[in-house]
Structure 1
Amino acid sequence: MNIGLTGGIACGKSTVSAMLVERGANLVDADRIAREVVEPGSPVLVQVAERFGREVLLEDGSLHRKRLGELIFGDEKARKDLEALLHPPIRARMRERMAAFEREQPDKLVVVDVPLLYESDLAHMFEHVLLVYIPEPLQLERLMQRDGISEEQARKRIAAQMPIEDKRALADFVIDNSGTIAQTALQVDKFWQERGLE
């Protein structure tokens, strides 16, 4: 079985994915893959530099994420151009890793951590979607604490994603991460047992 794991920013996806891995799941991390496809010398990074200019590269040839972020923030066309370059190779690599895990360990759950799963219209890739949920006021508080940013900056980042309540309505399973780590772990155990993953 494979599941897409998602949530809003600062909802605790990493915590829940780590708990699933501890229980024996295999993890495919979309964020890690997104970094891999733009490693120095990769064809994708060459295309990004061709589209956005050499200033998106650091001296060592790696991607200057901050500069690229500044160029696409608030520029819809630039953001769409970047997505058109990055999304196909990221999705291809995600599918390759999922297929490899399913081939090598068919009895193990494959968890694919995709932060913007619904925003990128990827739910069809998975048998089920598991959402890590916290209510928006708590999301705001945790994001400000985690990243040391102002309330205004945190609100902007949250507003750039689909509202957490909309994601909750779409998900097949929900882990409420607004309590203690122990309470979250109990829900992960329940999910694990109900799926017959013992």
Structure 2
Amino acid sequence: MIQNKAIVIGLTGGTGCGKSTVCSILKTYNTYIIDADKIAHSIIKKGNNAYFELINYFGKDILNSENEIDRKKLGKIVFSDKEKLFYLNNITHKYIIREIKDSINMAKDKQEYNYIVIDAPLLIETNLHKIVDEVWIVHCSLHTRLKRLVKRDNLSEEILIKRINSQTPFEQNKKYANFIIFNEDGANLEEIIKQRLKRKV
């Protein structure tokens, strides 16, 4: 049964905590997923405003052979330099936020969904938590995160720890959460999510 008004959930959490797994479960509940990472990838494509702003700041060394922005090259630069990470976010966030808001409005206008989920690592840092009905944070131990990320990204622990340390700590963000999912290995996420959504329908 479709609700009269879709509930907007802001889903966040550090890399390796399992946001994608939570999203895959939420999809089975008639949910429209807005993936902030996918939007971030699309807005830096060649020809877009963010593309030219990034080249203007970082230079052409961040381009690949097809003159597209090489995200791995860019990542190596910003994850070891907080000032450059700040400038990257300052350039891209305005475009990402605008597209997310447009996507929410589009999904609401369709009146087809029970839930609209913004899957955004920087949900709170970009103040997107202020436009949602609920904030969900997915969290797990550093050990579990590293184990998952080494397997997923095939990168060294040293590089992965730099990425993790560049993100806002869970302890700082948890005060904004309406719901926290502790996603250690073996957690029954389907049941955890089912019980939460029962309270919302």
TM-score interval w.r.t. the shorter chain?
0.7 to 0.9
AA in 2 matched with 1:135: S
RMSD: 2.0
Q: Which consecutive unaligned segments of at least 5 residues does structure 2 have? A: 1-6
SS in 2 for 1:58: coil
Q: In structure 2, do the counterparts of structure 1 residues 160 and 73 end up closer, same or farther at CA, with 3 Å as the change threshold?
A: closer
Are positions 1:184 and 2:189 aligned together?
yes
Asked if 1:23 corresponds to 2:23, the answer is no
**Cα–Cα, structure 1 residues 99 and 142, in superposed 2: closer, same or farther, change >3 Å?**
same
Greater mean deviation of Cα atoms: 23-32 or 156-165: 156-165
Deviations 1:5-43 (A, max 9, x none): 011110110000111012211111000100111112212
Of residues 92, 95, 98 in structure 2, which corresponds to 1:86?
92
Q: 2:134 aligns with which of 121, 128, 141?
A: 128
Change (3 A) 1:44 1:15: same
Q: Assess if the C-alpha contact under 8 Å between 1:40 and 1:63 holds in 2.
A: yes
Preserved contact between residue 140 and residue 158 of structure 1 (Cα < 8 Å) = no
- Give the alignment's TM-score, normalised by structure 2: 0.87
SS of the aligned residue for 2:137 comes to: strand
> Corresponding residue for 1:194?
199
Task: Report the equivalent of 2:49.
Answer: 43
**1:3 equivalenced with 2:3 (yes/no):** no
1:37-186 equivalences in 2 (<5 Å): 37-105=43-111, 108-180=114-186, 183-186=188-191
Quick check: 37-46 or 10-19, which moved more?
A: 37-46
Percent of paired sites with the same residue: 30
Q: 1:83 to 1:11 in 2, by over 3 A?
A: same
Please report how far the alpha carbon of residue 162 of structure 1 lies from its aligned counterpart in structure 2 after TM superposition: 2.0
Shift of 1:106: 6.2
Please report how far the alpha carbon of residue 150 of structure 1 lies from its aligned counterpart in structure 2 after TM superposition: 3.4
User: 1:147–1:192: structure 2 CA closer, same or farther, 3 Å change rule?
Assistant: same
Is this contact kept in 1: 2:124–2:173, CA < 8 A? yes
Equivalent residues of 2:31, 2:113 under 8 A apart: no
In the alignment, the residues of structure 2 paired with residue 184 and residue 47 of structure 1 have an alpha-carbon distance, to the nearest angstrom, of 40
